[in-house]
Structure 1
C-alpha cells in the first residue's frame, strides 16, 4: 500500500521574523491536517536560523530562536555558520539544552575529537507505517574559524559519505540536511546515488520545483523566510520497493497572516530590547555619523579596531554605523542598533604596494556607493572608507602610515573587518598571505570597549 510522507523545510531565516508568524501558522496547520489524515509530517531547518543582527536573538543569545523552533514543531535542524561562528563556545554548547527537536551536525566535534552531546551524526525516524527515514547533516567547512572557538570540523563531504554508508544499512529513505551550498549539494548527489533527498542552504539558492541530480532530489528555499520548502514523499514497500519525491516551494508572501502578527513581531523586538538595557557609558555629548564624509563614530570605531588588534594601521567602512548615539545613557541595545553586524575584527599582512592598491580601490572605484548585504554586513551601503594611522593625499598620491611615507617593499599589519577577507571588494585583503581573525568579539564589542576607555 502506498504511503505519503510530508516534509517541510526552511533555511537561512537569519532571524528575519517579519514572516515568521505566517510560517508558524502554516506549519502548524499543515501538520494538523496531515496527521488528521493519518499521514506523517517532518519539519527540518538547514541552518542559519539564528542571526545576532536581531535584538531578540542578541538578547537571548539564540535561545529565543530555539523556543520558536520548538513552538513550530520542528523535527530536526542543523547548524549554519551563524550558529557555529557567532556564538561563544559555551553559549553554543548550551544553545539547544531546551530543544524539543534533534540537532544533527555530523562534522562538528569538540577540540579533543569527541562529538558534543547535543550534535548527532544522524538520526533514524520511523513513520507510523514503519518506514525508516535516515537523516544526516553537515555544516560549512570554516575549520580555522571554528578552531578559534574551541571546535573541530571534519571535511563535510567525506564525513557525509561515512554517515550515508551507515544509513544505507538501516534506512529506507536517506535525507541530508546541508548547510554547504548549492555546488556541494550537487556533488553529494553525484557521488552518493543512494541519497534520496538533499535539503540545502548557505548560498541562499532557490529551487522552485526542486532539482534532480541523477536519482536525488534537491530542495532549497532561498533566505529570510521568503519560501517554505515542501516535499511529498511517496513510498510503496510492496513486492518492488518504490519511492518518489516531489519538491516545491510555498511563497510566504501570499500566506494568510495571523491577526496578531504585528504584535507578535513587536513583542520579539521588545523582549530583546528589555534584555539589552544594561548601561555601557554616559556620554557628555552626542556622537554622530555620516556615510559620505568624515564623522565621529566611524573614526572612533576605526581607532578601537587599531588599538584592539595592535596593528600598524586600520581600515573600516563608515556604512557599518547605522545610528547616532545621543547625549546621556548608552545601553547595549543602543550599541546593537548602531552595529548589528556579526562581523569580527581581523588583521591582514600586506606589502606597502598592496596597501597602496587597497587605498586606490577604496577611493577611486565607487566602492563607497555600493549597496549590499551579506558576509555579516547588515547595513545598507558600504559608505566612505575610514582610516586610522593612514594619510592618503589623492591630489599628489602621497601615502603615509603612522606619519611616515609608505615603503612599497615593507610588510604592514592592517586591522580591518573579516568581511573584506571573504568578499571581492578589496582583492589584496582577500588574497593576503596572512590573516589573523579575532573571535568571538564583534565590532560592537570593540566600540563598547573604546567608549568605556574614553568616558568611564
Structure 2
C-alpha cells in the first residue's frame, strides 16, 4: 500500500497575514511525510494574488509568485485575479521566475492560437511505485473579460473530453485543479467519473472532509488562506483504494518567528513602492460621500467619459473609498481610493432599453444606497448612491433625458460604467440587452490617474 499526501491552497487573494504560517506548515509537513517515505504533492488552485494588496499592485503580482516559490509548489493553476486582473503583457510576465509549473488547459493566445508559453496543458507525476498521476488545470471562463484582453477562454466541456482522451492511456489516476466553482466541480464529477480527484476553488467553498460524487472525490479549502487542504490517498494494484480529506485552520497553527514584522513588511513595501510613482498635483481636495454625489464622484465620472469617449457615465458612489487630498497624488493614493479590480464597461442600448435600465436603477436606488455588497470585484463597504453624468431622470413624468433631450425609443445610445454593473443582479438589462465591451487594459484607478495627470500635471 502506497500513501500520497496532497496539500492544496486556493483563493489566497494576497492575504499575506496568513502566509508565514502556511509556508512553515507546508515546508515542515513535506519533510515530515518524506521522512516516512510517503509521497507529497503541493498545489495552488488559483487567485493567489489580488491587487487590493499594495504589494501585489506595486509588483504586478511578482511578489506573490516569489512567495509561492518559497514553497516550491508541484503545480498551480490560475484564477480570474491572475487571468483578468492583469493585462495580457503582465500575465505573460507573471510566471517568468516561477519555480513551479502552471497547469492550464483552457486558455488560448488569440494572436498565436496556441496555449500561452508559460503554461502546460497537463503534467504527469510518477510515484516511487510507478503510479502515474495526470494533473490538469482549468480556470473560470469569463469571455467578456478575457476576449478583449487578447485571450480566448474555452468552456470546460469543450476541452475536458480531449484531455481525457490523451491522459487516460498514459496514467493511472487523473486530478483536476479547478478554478471553476463548486457547482461546476460537481457537474464535472458527475459527467467525467474517470477524473479521480478535483481540488476546487473560485467560489470560496470549504469542504472540511471532501465529498464523493460518483467516482470522483471533490475537495476545497475555502478562502484567504484561512485553511490548508490535506488529502491522503492510499494506492494499491495501480488504483486509489482509499481517500480522506481534512482542512487545517491556519489560526490553529503556531505563530512563526517574526510573524508580525513579516506581515507588516509586505504591506509597507507595497505602500513605499506605490508612493514612489507620482501622478499629479491637486490645488484643492476632492471630497467623497457614499450616500450622495460628491466632488470626487463627479471627477470620476468625467474621467470615465473621457476614457470611454462617451457622452454619459454612471457609477456608484461606494466605489470611492477615500477623498483625494490637496497636493501630490501618487499611485498609492489612487490604490487606496479605488482598490477594486474593475475596468470601464461601455454598454450600447436602444432608447427603449436605456429607459428600462434607468428605471431599474431608480427602482433600486434607495436600497443600494445602504447595501453592503461583497465580491464580484467590489472591495468597498457600501454600494452607495447611483450617480449620473450626462443623463437624468424626471421622477414625476418617468422620463429619461440624454444630454437634456428626451430619449428616443429606436435610437442607439452608448454609456460608460464599470464592469461590476454587468455582474451584479440589479441591472439585468445591461447583460440581457446591452452590446457590452470591457475596455482593457486599465483599471478604473488607472483611468482616474491618467485624467488627473493630464488635467493636474506636476509642475
Whether TM-score is above 0.5 comes out as: yes
- Counterpart of 2:56 in structure 1 is 57
- The answer as to whether partners of 2:11 and 2:224 remain within 8 angstroms in 1 is yes
Q: Name the SS of the counterpart of 2:188 in structure 1.
A: helix
Name which of structure 1's ranges 56-65 and 391-400 shifts more when overlaid on structure 2.
Answer: 391-400
- The answer as to whether partners of 2:210 and 2:220 remain within 8 angstroms in 1 is yes
Aligned pairs for 1:34-433 within 5 A? 34-111=33-110, 112-237=112-237, 241-276=239-274, 277-365=276-364, 366-394=367-395, 397-433=398-434
Query: Distance between the aligned counterparts of 1:432 and 1:262, measured in 2?
Result: 50
Give CA-to-partner distance per residue, 1:12-51, whole Å, 9 cap, x none. 1111222222222221221121122121211111111121
Give CA-to-partner distance per residue, 1:268-310, whole Å, 9 cap, x none. 1122112212110111111111101221111111111112112
- The answer as to whether partners of 2:144 and 2:437 remain within 8 angstroms in 1 is no
1:159 positional shift: 1.3
Query: Distance between the aligned counterparts of 1:176 and 1:183, measured in 2?
Result: 15
1:417 positional shift: 1.0
Query: Distance between the aligned counterparts of 1:284 and 1:385, measured in 2?
Result: 27
Query: Distance between the aligned counterparts of 2:311 and 2:411, measured in 1?
Result: 12
Q: CA distance change for structure 1 residues 85 and 216 in 2, over 3 Å: closer, same or farther?
A: same
1:357 positional shift: 3.5
Name which of structure 1's ranges 255-264 and 226-235 shifts more when overlaid on structure 2.
Answer: 255-264
Alpha-carbon RMSD = 1.7
TM-score (norm 2): 0.94
TM-score (norm 1): 0.95
Query: Distance between the aligned counterparts of 1:320 and 1:74, measured in 2?
Result: 36
1:398 positional shift: 4.3
- The answer as to whether partners of 1:137 and 1:160 remain within 8 angstroms in 2 is no
Q: Name the SS of the counterpart of 1:431 in structure 2.
A: helix
- Counterpart of 1:443 in structure 2 is 444
Query: Distance between the aligned counterparts of 1:15 and 1:213, measured in 2?
Result: 31
Unaligned runs of 5+ in 1: none
Q: Name the SS of the counterpart of 1:136 in structure 2.
A: strand
Q: Name the SS of the counterpart of 1:438 in structure 2.
A: strand
Query: Distance between the aligned counterparts of 1:395 and 1:153, measured in 2?
Result: 46
Q: Name the SS of the counterpart of 1:435 in structure 2.
A: strand
Question: How many pairs align?
Answer: 453
- The answer as to whether partners of 2:233 and 2:240 remain within 8 angstroms in 1 is no
- The answer as to whether partners of 1:221 and 1:227 remain within 8 angstroms in 2 is yes
- The answer as to whether partners of 1:84 and 1:146 remain within 8 angstroms in 2 is yes
